[in-house]
Amino acid sequence: MVKLTIPATELVRPGHAACPGCGPALAMRLLLKGLGPRTVLSMPACCWTVIATPYPTTALGVALLDNPIESTGASISGIRAAVDALAIPDVTVVGFAGDGGTADIGLQALSGMLERRTNAIYVMYDNEAYMNTGIQRSGATPEGAWTTTTPVGGAGRGKPERKKDIMGIVLAHRPVYAATLNPSFPEDFVRKAAKAREIAGPRFLHVFAPCPPGWRYSSEETIEIGRLATDTGVFPLYEVADGHLRLTRRLSSLKPIGEYLGRQGRYAHLTPEERARLQAEVRSGWERILREDASGSPGGPFSSRSSHAATKGDTVEAA
Ligand X SMILES: Cc1ncc(C[n+]2csc(CCOP(=O)(O)OP(=O)(O)O)c2C)c(N)n1
What does the binding site for ligand X look like in residue numbers (CB under 6 A)? 45-47, 69-70, 97-101, 127, 130-133, 138
User: Min. distance of Cβ 23 from ligand X in angstroms?
Assistant: 10
User: Min. distance of Cβ 254 from ligand X in angstroms?
Assistant: 27
Report how far residue 306's alpha carbon sits from residue 316's, in angstroms, rounded to the nearest whole number. Answer: 18
Q: Toward ligand X, which CB reaches closer, 45 or 62?
A: 45
* Radius of gyration (C-alpha) of the chain in whole angstroms: 19
Determine the residue with CB nearest ligand X.
98
Report the DSSP beta bridge partners of residue 157. 152
Report how far residue 304's alpha carbon sits from residue 292's, in angstroms, rounded to the nearest whole number. Answer: 6
Report the DSSP beta bridge partners of residue 63. 40
User: Min. distance of Cβ 108 from ligand X in angstroms?
Assistant: 13
Q: Toward ligand X, which CB reaches closer, 97 or 120?
A: 97
Q: Is 28 helix (H, G, I), strand (E, B) or coil?
A: helix
User: Min. distance of Cβ 46 from ligand X in angstroms?
Assistant: 3
CA distances from 95 to 46, 92, 109, 118, 203 (A): 12, 10, 11, 11, 10
CB 58 within 8 A of CB 34: no
User: Min. distance of Cβ 49 from ligand X in angstroms?
Assistant: 8
